[in-house]
Amino acid sequence: MKVTKSEFVVSAVGPAQYPDDALPEIALAGRSNVGKSSLINRLISRKNLARASATPGKTQQLNYYRVNDDLYFVDFPGYGYAKVSKAQRAQFGVMIEKYLLNREELKLVLLVVDMRHPPSKDDISMYEWLQHYDRPVCVVATKADKIPKTKWPKHIKIVKETLGFKPYHSLVMFSSETGLGKDELWEVIESRIGA
């Protein structure tokens, strides 16, 4: 996709703040620090539009970024951040769960994992949950540039095995540093939104 315009729209704390213009939405889930903001910035060719907050656990919001007049990226709060209270976590869970289950505009969830390590328990739960409710998902294995090319197949194998990856889903290897996977990921996104 040729991105001519991108802007931050809103940090939504609930459905009342979700945009109401019916554009398709692509959500990003993953643990804190996995590289979601960098991935968004790379996809839209901006250095710093999406920014991870300094204390990731404190942003219990869905951050909406609008791309052209085509779609929104919806950045979820990173999970697995220890300093979030139980109550906050429960509330966040309910909000995300409702969004994932009910949001008609949601066309695809990008589950972002760190390619260097086996996916975490939280990654696995998220993937299983999405499958259980039959939500469209694409796994993005990022930070590929941090691994020598010769080891990519081994790492991808571990990511797939650990997640219990289903072959009917897409998996894209990505690097926000080099731009690897950018075109491929846009193709997956475009095919989901019918662009």
Q: Where along the sequence are the contacts to ligand GDP (CB under 6 A)?
A: 30, 32-38, 52, 56, 78, 142-143, 145-146, 175-177
Task: Quote the tokens at residue 142.
Answer: 């990022």
d(C-alpha 77, C-alpha 114), whole Å: 16
Nearer to ligand GDP, 35 or 119 (CB): 35
Nearest-approach distance from CB 50 to ligand GDP, in angstroms: 7
Nearest-approach distance from CB 6 to ligand GDP, in angstroms: 16
Nearer to ligand GDP, 106 or 173 (CB): 173
Nearer to ligand GDP, 59 or 69 (CB): 59
d(C-alpha 102, C-alpha 123), whole Å: 21
Nearest-approach distance from CB 176 to ligand GDP, in angstroms: 4
Please, are residues 39 and 176 in contact by the beta-carbon 8 Å criterion? Answer: yes
Using CB positions, name the residue nearest to ligand GDP.
35
User: Which regions of the chain does DSSP assign to beta strands (E)?
Assistant: 6-12, 25-29, 62-67, 71-75, 106-114, 137-142, 170-173
Please, are residues 175 and 144 in contact by the beta-carbon 8 Å criterion? Answer: yes
Nearer to ligand GDP, 170 or 175 (CB): 175
Angle at 94 between CA 66 and CA 174, to 5 degrees: 45
Tell me the one-letter amino acid at 193: I
d(C-alpha 78, C-alpha 90), whole Å: 14
Nearer to ligand GDP, 61 or 142 (CB): 142
CA distances from 171 to 23, 75, 87, 100, 154 (A): 24, 19, 33, 20, 14
Nearest-approach distance from CB 165 to ligand GDP, in angstroms: 20
Nearest-approach distance from CB 36 to ligand GDP, in angstroms: 4
Place of tokens 């797939």: 160
Nearer to ligand GDP, 58 or 166 (CB): 58
Nearest-approach distance from CB 20 to ligand GDP, in angstroms: 26
